[in-house]
Amino acid sequence: MRSSRSRADGLIARDVAHRGLHGGGVPENSLAAAEAAIAGGFAIECDVRLGGDATVLVFHDADTGRLCGRPGALVDADWRALRLANGEAVPTLGALLATIGGRVPLFVEIKSDRHLPVALCRGTLAALRPYAGLAAIMSFDPRIVRWFGRHDPDRPRGLVMTEHPGRRAALRRRLALCYANPDFLAYDVRCLPSALVSGFRARGRPVLSWTVRTAEDRARAAAYADRPIWEAA
């Protein structure tokens, strides 16, 4: 098994386009957004959830209303009939991986609600295993990060974090970090600087910062993190 640092090598060579390079008629988490990010020389962050037949879809929301104009639960929808604003089908993770083809690093954020989404973890792992490019997983849910540490230990894995006020919240953050044992952090830019982040970086592990939208955000990310996960304002 490789070290945490070696697993993260190559991940921070490029700035990261949040949900691909979207805007101006190009929907987030679309194949068009991925192609635009690649053309710009950026790594890509995407989100995954399960469709109704346990297919791993590149999609942020649990509901299809905002992105497809058809309200309803994604897990209950016929995802093959769904269309994004540009007419593109909702991509599967497999389709996104085929589109990227190892040209830039990919960060796959695995969404969870109350329960550990084991089927989503397994489906994501199945899609990623034959992929030859650099692909990391990350999640707000430390259980998911730990699951991948057990089932795909050589894959880079990151914990996505924000900060809520109070000593109890601070303790939960530290416990989540210990439980997940991530190779990298993806940290809320609004919460920088952070003692937790400083300590993590001091151990030689990289930190990405999300979501960078303004010049002020970019300056903060440059000062206290290694790379921004960004999108246009």
Contact (Cβ atoms closer than 8 angstroms) between residue 51 and residue 72: no
Rounded CA-CA distance 152/24 in Å is 37
Q: What is the pTM of this model?
A: 0.96
Q: Which domains does the chain have, with CATH numbers?
A: 4-230 (3.20.20.190)
Q: What are the pLDDT digits (tens) for 107-125?
A: 999 999 888 999 999 999 9
- CA gap 46, 138 in Å, rounded: 10
The β-bridge partners of 135 are: 106
Enclosing H/E stretch for 212: strand 207-212
Q: What is the pLDDT of residue 3?
A: 61
What's the DSSP call for residue 53?
T
The phi and psi torsions of 116 (rounded to 5 degrees) equal -65, 120
pLDDT tens-place string over residues 126-184: 999 999 999 999 999 999 999 999 999 999 999 999 999 999 999 999 999 999 999 99
Q: Which residue has the tokens 């089932």?
A: 151
Q: What pLDDT digit, counting tens, does each position of 19-48 carry?
A: 999 999 999 999 999 999 999 999 999 999
